Amino acid sequence: MAHGGTSGISLHVRGLSKAFRGTWALRGLDLDLGPGETLVLFGPNGSGKTTLLKILSTLLRPTRGTGTLGGADLVREREKVRRRIGLLSHGSFLYEDLTPRENLVFGAAMRGGRPADGTIAAAIERVGLEAVADERVQTLSSGMKRRVTLARLLLNTADLWLLDEPYTNLDREATKVLEEVLQEHQEQGGMAVMATHNFLDGFKLATRLGILARGRLILDEPRESMTFPAFQELYTLRAEGGGR
C-alpha cells in the first residue's frame, strides 16, 4: 500500500498570524519542513495548534503572513495545495448512514482518485475493521470510527499529512498501526505536522519537536537534540509557567 509523497516538496511558512474577532490565535509563525520530516507540536489548550493545522490545510485563511507547499500558495492556490495534503482532524468526516467501506470509497473518489483493486480492503484489514466494514458507521464505537479515519489516511498518498490529536480514541493496537503508517510515510519522503497532548507517543514519532504557546512557536528543535525528560522539563517551564 502506498503512503505519503515522494516528490521531495517542502513547506515554508512566514509570519503566519490569525485573529478571530480581534483575538490573536497565531502570531507571526515561521516554519520550514522538508521531505521526511515530522513536526510534532505540543502546547496547552488554546495555544493555536488546531488553527495552524486548519490554515495549513487551507480550511482557514491567515490574517497575515504567507505559506507555500511545494511552491503552491496556501491562499491563492488552494486547489493545488489540497491535492498535496491529507487531514486527520477532530471531526471524523464520516457519514453515519454509510458503511466504513462506502465512506472510504467516497473519500478516495472525492480526492479524485480511484483506488487500485484491493487497496480499500487492505486498508480495512490493516486497521482491523474487516468484521464491521459493511455495517453502518452509526453502529460503530468512537474507537472504531477513529480506525476508519486512520484507514482513510492509509489511502491518502499526499505529501503532507496534518494530524490533529490523532491518538484520540485509539487503543494500543490502533496506535501501533498509526505509528507504523507514519513511519512509512516518513521513509517515503512524506512530511507530517501533528498536534498532540500525548507526550510520549508524540515524542517517539517526531523528527522535530515544537512547542506552541499563546500563538507563538516558542520551540522548534530536532528531536535528537534533547531527551524526553529534558523536553518535558522545557515544556513545563516555557509553555505552562515560566514563559508567561
Partner 1 sequence: MSFLALTGQILRKDFRIEVRSREGVNTLLFFSTLLVFLFRFAIGSTETQVREAAPGLLWLAFILTGLWGMARTFQVERENDCLEFLRLAPGDLGGLYLGKLIVGCCLMWATELAILAMFGLFFHLDMWPVIGSLIPVLILGTVGFVAIGTLFAAITANLKAREVMLPLLLFPLMVPILLAASRLTDLGLAGDSLWAEAHWLRLLIGFDVVFVVLGYLTFPFVMED
Q: Does 91 bind partner 1 (CB under 8 A)?
A: yes
Q: Does 98 bind partner 1 (CB under 8 A)?
A: yes
- Distances in whole angstroms, Cα of residue 23 to Cα of each of 17, 27, 42, 63, 125: 11, 10, 21, 11, 45
Cβ closer to partner 1: 72 or 239?
72
Partners of 160 in beta bridges: 85, 191
**C-alpha neighbours within 13 Å on the C-beta side of residue 34:** 2
- Interacting residue with partner 1 among 12, 14, 64, 82 (CB under 8 A): 82
- C-alpha cell, 61: 485563511
Cα–Cα distance between 234 and 103 in angstroms, integer?
42
- Interacting residue with partner 1 among 90, 139, 141, 142 (CB under 8 A): 90
Cα–Cα distance between 232 and 237 in angstroms, integer?
9
Cβ closer to partner 1: 93 or 199?
93
Q: Does 72 bind partner 1 (CB under 8 A)?
A: no
Q: Does 123 bind partner 1 (CB under 8 A)?
A: no
Minimum distance from CB of 60 to partner 1 (Å)? 6
Cα–Cα distance between 25 and 27 in angstroms, integer?
7
From residue 181 to residue 210, the character string flagging contacts with partner 1 as x (rule: CB under 8 A) and all else as - is ------------------------------
Minimum distance from CB of 233 to partner 1 (Å)? 36
Q: Minimal CA–CA distance to 125: which of 108, 105, 150? A: 150
Q: How many residues sit close enough to partner 1 to count as binding (CB under 8 A)?
A: 30
What is the DSSP-derived secondary structure letter of residue 169? T
Cα–Cα distance between 176 and 186 in angstroms, integer?
15
Minimum distance from CB of 207 to partner 1 (Å)? 25
> Residue 205: what are its φ and ψ, rounded to 5°?
-85, -20
Of residues 7-66, those binding partner 1 (CB under 8 A): 57-61
Of residues 126-155, those binding partner 1 (CB under 8 A): 136
Which parts of this chain interact with partner 1 (CB under 8 A)? 57-61, 78-80, 82-83, 85, 87, 89-98, 102, 106-107, 109-112, 136
